[in-house]
Structure 1
Amino acid sequence: METKEYIESGILELYVYGLLSESENEEVTAMAKKNPEINAEIIGIEKAIVALSSSFSPFQSVANYEKIKAKLDLNQIAIIETEPSRNWAQYIGWAAAIILMIGIGYQYNQLEQSNKQVVNIETEKAKIEKEKNEFMLKNQQSETNLAVIRDSKNTVIILGGQTVAPESSAKIYWNKETQAVYVDASGLPEPPKGMVYQVWALKLNPLTPTSIGLLEKFDENNQHIFAVNNTEEAEAFGITLEPAGGSLTPTMEQLYTLGKV
């Protein structure tokens, strides 16, 4: 590279500013020793920097300024080989620490995502298991109800609506051999809050009612078929609406359905 091109490349300014690498500094120093034009250009750059610094330093005394200028005398100036003070180990350490923190953050985020996925899978699994159990229970209940309806040994008693609820109806499935009693209450309205239907086995002469069970959790029984207590003898069956927990004797004013055997 020719001297002019070398000077115009800008490397001498970087040299004076201390921004070159060690090898580049050595190269410029060697060139300055061999080439007077390059050495003169370096001196000129240094003078320009000092002059510029002086213009921005109003508190510098005239005496100090003259001392600085004297030191820049062309016959006394010497090229100082400078070694850039760069703590690369410190920069590399910080960069490594940042990369490590980013890596840890990424791994933590991935772990959190994995944990959330596991929780979601477990939740979904529990939900499916619950739905499966509910389906199996309903299916079992449906099979039981169907068996009751199809059992030819059952006597079916139709209970018609009474004065308080003429539109109501119900059916009793009574197996006289096993004494088991099932109630189909699908024809009854849902009982008001705090009330429950109570089933009675009746003897008519004299009228003797015997409670054989409550139709509890009415809204949870989709098919409204209930198993109640067994009974040996009955001439009729009735259903009344009673306060929650039932009554010792039927409230006749709340007799919803009644039917003879």
Structure 2
Amino acid sequence: MDTKAYIESGILELYVAGRLSETENEEIYGLLQKHPELLQEVLEIEAAVIKLTASVSPHAIDFESFSGRLNTSETKVIDLKPKKPNWMSYTGWAASVLLAGGLLWTLNRNAELQSDLEVANTDAIALEQQIESIRDNLSDANSVLAVMRDNNVTKIPLGGQGDFAETYANVYWDKDNNRVLLDADGLPEAPEGKVYQVWSLTLNPLTPTSLGTIDDFNTDDNKIFAITNTNESEAFGITLEPAGGSESPTMEQLYTLGVVSATP
């Protein structure tokens, strides 16, 4: 089993998201028992989801720093004659200190709350963007899986050619919608200044028709590309061409080739 291709297909994300049928869940559960790398991938996906939903913790209040601001130096008073303590004066002084301390704590606390609110708003926006990205990825994965599993879609394996015998690719041709899904994971990165070009072929006589170049091949993680194809294709091929593509395929740089079978 090609576990790398299975991981990159996106089906494990659907498994974690609970978007699969009971039969599919049981099938994947069985694979997780047999392939530790698949189980590790599921654990990493779950950990990423948990991290996204983590709450924002408020900052602690530094009461030690606050209480230090209320310390006052002791003042010695020499009485010239006995007299009753002026409790009203002491009470007023203490109330002033407490009021000043309370205002200081309130201002500091308000500043902290404002900072926490700004951080929470920023984190909430980032979280929404990450969740939206995950939804988009799951939607794309669902679309790809739907095409690959459709009985009316023709799968054409493209085998390596000549000096590039180790390369491979797969074409999923949806004739009803004039669309091709190209799984090019078996191709190496294109050298600088070069691009892969996809060809639709008729065989008698041999006539190539360009389906376009894959300009973002090196930067695309999944290596799955949607291509429009309105031709009555009898075969598909992929060549390496100069940036911008070529009018006709460079046969010395033919990496993969596959013939369309008579039935899907």
TM-score band (shorter)?
A: 0.5 to 0.7
> Does the Cα contact within 8 Å between 1:198 and 1:241 map onto a contact in 2?
yes
| TM-fit CA distance, 1:228 | 0.3
Q: Please name the residue that 1:24 is paired with.
A: 82
Mapping for residues 118-197 of structure 1, pairs under 5 Å: 118-197=117-196
For 1:176, the aligned partner's letter is K
CA 1:148–1:107 in structure 2 vs 1: closer, same or farther (change >3 Å)?
same
Paired residue secondary structure (1:149):
helix
Post-superposition Cα deviations, 1:132-176, rounded to whole Å, max 9, x if no partner, equal 112211211111111111111122211111234221111111133
Q: Give the structure-2-normalised TM-score.
A: 0.56
Distance 2:190 2:170 in 1: 17
Paired residue secondary structure (2:255):
strand
* 2:108 corresponds to 1:109: yes
Aligned residues: 179
For 1:224, the aligned partner's letter is K
Post-superposition Cα deviations, 1:78-125, rounded to whole Å, max 9, x if no partner, equal xxxxxxxxxx8xx96xx958963x555433322232122112222222
Paired residue secondary structure (2:209):
strand
CA 1:219–1:98 in structure 2 vs 1: closer, same or farther (change >3 Å)?
farther
CA 1:96–1:247 in structure 2 vs 1: closer, same or farther (change >3 Å)?
farther
| TM-fit CA distance, 1:244 | 4.3
Mapping for residues 26-65 of structure 1, pairs under 5 Å: none
Q: Give the structure-1-normalised TM-score.
A: 0.57
Higher RCO, Cα 8 Å, sep 6+ = 2
> Does the Cα contact within 8 Å between 1:242 and 1:254 map onto a contact in 2?
yes
5+ long unaligned stretches in structure 2:
1-76
Distance 1:117 1:126 in 2: 14
| TM-fit CA distance, 1:218 | 3.4
CA 1:113–1:191 in structure 2 vs 1: closer, same or farther (change >3 Å)?
farther
> Once structures 1 and 2 are overlaid, which stretch shifts more, 148-157 or 190-199?
190-199
CA 1:107–1:150 in structure 2 vs 1: closer, same or farther (change >3 Å)?
same
CA 1:128–1:220 in structure 2 vs 1: closer, same or farther (change >3 Å)?
farther
> Does the Cα contact within 8 Å between 1:214 and 1:228 map onto a contact in 2?
no
Paired residue secondary structure (2:106):
helix
For 1:135, the aligned partner's letter is I
CA 1:110–1:203 in structure 2 vs 1: closer, same or farther (change >3 Å)?
same
> Does the Cα contact within 8 Å between 1:176 and 1:232 map onto a contact in 2?
no
> Does the Cα contact within 8 Å between 1:201 and 1:231 map onto a contact in 2?
no
Distance 1:164 1:212 in 2: 23
For 1:152, the aligned partner's letter is N
CA 1:253–1:97 in structure 2 vs 1: closer, same or farther (change >3 Å)?
farther
5+ long unaligned stretches in structure 1:
1-17, 27-87
| TM-fit CA distance, 1:237 | 0.8
Q: Please name the residue that 2:257 is paired with.
A: 258
Paired residue secondary structure (1:177):
helix
Q: Please name the residue that 1:210 is paired with.
A: 209
Identity over aligned pairs, percent: 43
